Amino acid sequence: MSIRVRFAPSPTGYLHLGGARTALFNWLFAKRKGGTFILRIEDTDKVRSTDEAVLAIIRGLEWLGMNWDEGPKITIDQHKVVIEEVGKHKPYFQMKRLELYRKYAEKLIEDGKAYRCYCLPEELEEMRKKASQEKRPPKYDGRCRSLIGGDENRYIDEGRKPVVRFKTPQEGVTEFEDIVRGKVSFQNNLLDDFVMLKSSGSPIYNFAVVVDDHEMEISHVIRGDDHISNTPRQILLYEALGWKKPQFAHVPMILGSDGSRLSKRHGATSLEYYENEGYLPEAMVNYLALLGWATEDSQQIFDIEELKEKFSLERCAKSAAIFDLQKLLWMNGEYIRKMKPDELTTEALPFIIKENLVQGDTDEEVRQWVENVLTEAISLEQEKIKLLKDIPYLISYMLKEDLENEDYEEEVKEKVLKVSGVKQILSDCRDRLVKLEDFSEEKIEKEVRSYAKESDKKTGKVFHPIRVAVSGRTRGPGLFALLSFLGKEKVLKRIDYTIKNFL
């Protein structure tokens, strides 16, 4: 039997971290087993579902590099976004499948396994209120289970629109073997006759999933463990319809720092936010994979291929995981450090553009500049970059032609420059640097070091003022690489500027 899994978000907002992690586990499982990964949109909540959310979900999955074999895909046609459905079980939007749910609901009614219920919302509310007063569980009492023709006709004449309820067996136990949790069982008499079809004709989650998972030949249902309590209802439906059940795997949820369900209160939860901050999709995938899954040796860094190879549901944790931004940040730094300079530059470019740091008038000029200047500047700072977003600030002084007063950090002027002897050091070094024909890292280092030695100064005493004079900051790349990168002209200009204005 072929492996088919699905990610089935409801498009009520951006792609959530928890959703992304669930999608990832499904995708990895499919990849590992050579199976099919399907995207299905559960948009039966008409009020909260939006097209933008569908787009955000699709974009998020694409950003992370998870490709799906069946489901809606986005294509751009003459600058217009077009959603095209791909796969043998289309459509993949539940609102386009209403006929199907109605058909199976009808079948269950005919088989005497479901019935129409004409109770009004107010009546149900009343029922629940009474139940809670009498300290009984708020369970629908099944009063419409065996409506006789006359009563039913009366309701219809009143204009009531019925819902369809499932006739939940009131005896026995429903159990299933969960791949991550083992055996889970529920007493049937605790379940009530839940609604399958709303009076509007659209299905309720528990019914729609079953119909779609069956129709789409889903072999493994991998989802958050908030669905564990829904599973018996779904199993009862599979049995009533005479369908083969899929295997279930309930993976632990992702929680916020205080241990409660991850929400805006805990900071950003949308994948898009992390993209905009300059996290790399590879780092995100790696981090998310480790939330609820680990190998025996607790390996931390996995590339995608390795993940596809090693992932297994059996090794998933059972307990919920708290999202830890610190660790994600560390991991992002790890991935940034591993990148080739030109790759990193490509990723950084949108952030550079956003800060208006791009130089060059024609495309060709820009290309040259990126290749000759930008890439070099970024790689000087590569080892300390944690977020792509931080790059513009880190290298801004390297890209500017001239530094101005505000480019020099205030406290730095006081602490480093306005120290006795600094003026002498800077002008001495200037005199030596000006004579250098070859402004290479090695030559500069040799020259500056020998100055320090000859004038009997500690290297730091000499290096530090130069760094500040040339960058306006106390932190930065190795000094000689930096000087060489800037070039003789800029270095001399900046030293002169510093001497003239701050000393």
Partner RNA sequence: GGCGCCAUCGUCUAGUCUGGUUUAGGACGCUGCCCUCUCAAGGCAGAGAUCACGGGUUCAAAUCCCGUUGGCGCUACCA
Which residues are known to be catalytic?
A: 264
Among 98, 322, 419, 436, binds RNA (CB under 7 A): 322
Residue 270 pairs in a beta bridge with: 16
Residues in 51-80 at the binding interface with RNA, rule: CB under 7 A: none
Is 114 an interacting residue with respect to RNA (CB under 7 A)?
A: no
SS3 111: coil
List, in order, residues 6 or more apart from 411 with CB less than 8 Å away: none
CB of 365 to RNA, least distance (A): 30
CB of 41 to RNA, least distance (A): 9
Among 99, 171, 297, 406, binds RNA (CB under 7 A): 297
Among 133, 319, 356, 372, binds RNA (CB under 7 A): 319
Is 25 an interacting residue with respect to RNA (CB under 7 A)?
A: no
Is 397 an interacting residue with respect to RNA (CB under 7 A)?
A: no
Among 15, 28, 105, 119, binds RNA (CB under 7 A): 119
Residues in 452-471 at the binding interface with RNA, rule: CB under 7 A: 459-460, 463-464, 467
- Choose between 271 and 380: whose C-beta lies nearer to RNA: 380
Is 138 an interacting residue with respect to RNA (CB under 7 A)?
A: yes
Is 90 an interacting residue with respect to RNA (CB under 7 A)?
A: no
How far apart are the C-alpha atoms of 103 and 80, rounded to whole Å? 35
Instruction: For residue 86, report the phi and psi dihedrals to the nearest 5 degrees.
Output: -125, 135
- Choose between 288 and 352: whose C-beta lies nearer to RNA: 288
Q: How many C-beta neighbours within 10 Å does residue 435 have? A: 7
244-100-48-57 Cα dihedral, nearest 10 degrees: 60
Among 265, 327, 354, 415, binds RNA (CB under 7 A): 327
Among 13, 32, 33, 45, binds RNA (CB under 7 A): 45
| Per-residue tokens: 420 | 């006795």
Q: What is the DSSP letter of 203?
A: B
Residues in 157-216 at the binding interface with RNA, rule: CB under 7 A: 161, 163, 181-182, 184-187, 190, 192, 194-195, 198-200, 202, 204-206
How far apart are the C-alpha atoms of 9 and 54, rounded to whole Å? 9
Is 476 an interacting residue with respect to RNA (CB under 7 A)?
A: yes
Is 150 an interacting residue with respect to RNA (CB under 7 A)?
A: no
The gap between the terminal CA atoms of the chain, to the nearest Å, is 79
User: Are the CB atoms for 25 and 252 separated by under 8 Å?
Assistant: no
Among 85, 109, 147, 230, binds RNA (CB under 7 A): 230
Is 326 an interacting residue with respect to RNA (CB under 7 A)?
A: yes
List, in order, residues 6 or more apart from 178 with CB less than 8 Å away: 184, 228, 248, 249, 250
User: Are the CB atoms for 17 and 268 separated by under 8 Å?
Assistant: no
| Per-residue tokens: 275 | 């993209």
User: Are the CB atoms for 56 and 74 separated by under 8 Å?
Assistant: no
- Choose between 45 and 342: whose C-beta lies nearer to RNA: 45
User: Are the CB atoms for 278 and 288 separated by under 8 Å?
Assistant: no
Q: Taking contact as CB under 7 A, which single stretch among the options 66-74, 425-433, 475-483, 487-495 is the one that binds RNA?
A: 475-483
Residues shown for the chain: 503
Q: Taking contact as CB under 7 A, which single stretch among the options 210-218, 302-310, 323-331, 406-414 is the one that binds RNA?
A: 323-331
CB of 196 to RNA, least distance (A): 9
- Angle at the Cα of 358 from the Cα atoms of 353 and 361, rounded to 5 degrees: 120
- Choose between 300 and 440: whose C-beta lies nearer to RNA: 300
Site string (330-369) toward RNA, x via CB under 7 A:
x--xx--x--------------------------------
Q: Which residues of 36-67 are buried (b: 16+ CB within 10 A; e: fewer)?
A: bbbbbbbbbeeeebeeebbbbbbbbbebbebe
Residues in 416-445 at the binding interface with RNA, rule: CB under 7 A: none
